[in-house]
Amino acid sequence: MKVIVEPVGFVNDLIGKARKQEASERMTKHCVTAECDGGTLLYHTLTGELIYLDEKERNTPVTCNLLTEKHFLIGCDCDENRISDHVRTVAGIMRSGMTDVTDFTILTTTDCNARCFYCYEKGIRRYSMSAETAEATADFIRSSSGGKKIGISWFGGEPLFNKEAISLISNKLEKAGTAFSSHMTSNGLLFDEETIKEAVSLWRMNRVQITIDGTEEVYNRIKAYVEKQGSPYRTVIRNIGMLTDAGVRVFVRLNMNRANFDNLMQLAGELGILFGGNRLFCAYPVPLRAFAGEVGEFENPGDEINAYRALKEKLFSLGIGRNEKLLRAYSPTRCMADNDGNLVIFPDGRLSKCEHYCEKDVIGDIFSGVRDHVSAGAWKEKTVFDGCSDCPLYPRCINLKKCPWAAFGCSEAVREIRISNIRDKMISEYRSFISRADGPISQPLSGGYAPAGYDS
């Protein structure tokens, strides 16, 4: 048996080593397996441990004892979901004492130069952050963060529609000696040489997420930019090149649905020619959901899973896939909404918990802080869907009752896509372990307890 990734220290300390039981045992539900190089990889989604068994080791008594010790084999009457819930509760209690807010999502404007048919912000009031509110936002950030390093996510609307607010906030933070870095979700059209220089030096921006919906003709039609000169697609592609040349990582999101799948395969080919081998560039597919308007969802889960896999594999074969690692720490939160360390700031300074702009979900403002703790706390309420209790991802998958995505539940396709993503990560960890051959990957965080963040 090879240990490829060690268990998360925090979880391991909490649940300890298991002992061989007299009663009969079964495999835990919290295990994802993948065949690889003639052996089997097993990933425990609660402990985070990844092991490799070669063919000879599979059913030996020694292996069985080790699998029991590592919680892969458990007593037939064991309720592993209850243990997982307990770990989450303890991790949540440990976090509850952390009062500083260190991650801010700032909507510089709700206005946007694109008119995407699927936008969940369709129909909302369009307004931008004033200079006074930007100054007050910087003051609020400094007073809320306890002198710690700050992470800022520039969001909108299109955040570059109000660059002035970004510069004002960054400038004030810099003058006050506040440590911060930032990233942005943008359609990428409004970048130019000057803006990129400022983004790197003043905004301290190291990453941008840009959505591209198709090849040139399709993209220009879907984005339907209100003011444009020439081809917006070509401008965005040029800007991506300038961003990576300036050292900014670019993550291109490909919103995938039944109607645009063939075109996205073509787009992948074009992006591969342009950016293949560029270590600061990657692209990844995301199945599109109908927040607004008809998005042409796949008719059956099998088609959606196959399409997703085919697109992802093509991106990898072209050297532009998104290579992710398995989680190295345990987090009891889903996202900014249920994390006390995060706040969303609207253009007029009102505070919220979720970046999906919603006038109803205001919990305070930058002038007097969080006032409505009941509403803030409501974002922590969890929900489960049909199938969660038997799903191998149960320990790491958190769904929030108020999350707009919760309305879609969890389809078979979503579940299988998530599991297949975990398998990709397992195999990628194994391959890099073999190439290093210098022992298992240990946990970088003290105790393996993650103060923020989640990915699935």
**E strand or H helix at 342, and its extent?**
strand 342-345
- Beta carbon of residue 403, minimum distance to ligand SF4 (angstroms, whole number): 3
Closest residue by Cα to residue 214 from 297, 289, 311: 311
Among 354, 363, 413, 426, binds ligand SF4 (CB under 6 A): 354
DSSP 292: S
Among 138, 264, 320, 336, binds ligand SF4 (CB under 6 A): 336
Tokens for 296, please give them: 């042409």
Q: Which is nearer to ligand SF4, 326 or 335 (CB)?
A: 335
Q: Does 51 bind ligand SF4 (CB under 6 A)?
A: no
- Beta carbon of residue 333, minimum distance to ligand SF4 (angstroms, whole number): 9
Stretch of residues binding ligand SF4 (CB under 6 A), selected from 90-98, 187-195, 234-242, 350-358: 350-358
- C-beta separation of 369 from 361 below 8 A: no
- Beta carbon of residue 376, minimum distance to ligand SF4 (angstroms, whole number): 12
- Beta carbon of residue 320, minimum distance to ligand SF4 (angstroms, whole number): 25
Q: Does 335 bind ligand SF4 (CB under 6 A)?
A: yes
Q: Which is nearer to ligand SF4, 264 or 398 (CB)?
A: 398
Stretch of residues binding ligand SF4 (CB under 6 A), selected from 261-269, 384-392, 430-438, 442-450: 384-392
- 54-78 per-residue burial string, b: 16 or more CB within 10 A, e: under 16: eeebeeeeebeebbbebbbbbeeeb
Among 385, 408, 420, 447, binds ligand SF4 (CB under 6 A): 385
Kindly identify the residues of this chain, within the stretch 415-454, that bind ligand SF4 according to CB under 6 A.
415, 418
Instruction: Determine the distance from the C-alpha atom of residue 154 to the mean position of all C-alpha atoms in its chain, rounded to a whole number.
Output: 15
Q: Count of CB atoms within 10 A of residue 273's CB?
A: 9
Q: Which is nearer to ligand SF4, 207 or 228 (CB)?
A: 207
How many residues make contact with ligand SF4 (CB under 6 A)? 22
Tracing tokens 């992948």 back to the chain, one arrives at 268
Residue 73, beta-bridge partner list: 27
Residue 26, beta-bridge partner list: 74
Q: Which is nearer to ligand SF4, 215 or 339 (CB)?
A: 339
In angstroms, what CA-CA distances link 24 with 42, 53, 74, 75, 78? Answer: 20, 22, 9, 6, 11
Closest residue by Cα to residue 125 from 406, 440, 359, 301: 359
Max intra-chain CA distance, the chain: 74
Q: Which is nearer to ligand SF4, 156 or 214 (CB)?
A: 156
Q: Which is nearer to ligand SF4, 259 or 378 (CB)?
A: 378
Kindly identify the residues of this chain, within the stretch 231-250, that bind ligand SF4 according to CB under 6 A.
none
- C-beta separation of 185 from 154 below 8 A: yes
* Residues whose CB falls within 8 Å of the CB of residue 375, separated by 6 or more in sequence, listed in order: 361, 362, 363
Cis status, amide bond into 151, omega within 30 of 0: no
Tokens for 424, please give them: 């990709």
Among 146, 247, 387, 439, binds ligand SF4 (CB under 6 A): 387
- Beta carbon of residue 45, minimum distance to ligand SF4 (angstroms, whole number): 9
Degrees (nearest 5) of the Cα angle 278, 308, 435? 50
Stretch of residues binding ligand SF4 (CB under 6 A), selected from 184-192, 198-206, 331-339, 434-442: 331-339
- Beta carbon of residue 456, minimum distance to ligand SF4 (angstroms, whole number): 7
Q: Write the interaction track for ligand SF4 spanning residues 391-420; mark x where CB under 6 A is met and - where it is not.
A: x-xx--x-xx--xxx----x----x--x--
Q: Which positions touch ligand SF4 (CB under 6 A)?
A: 334-337, 354-356, 385, 387-388, 391, 393-394, 397, 399-400, 403-405, 410, 415, 418
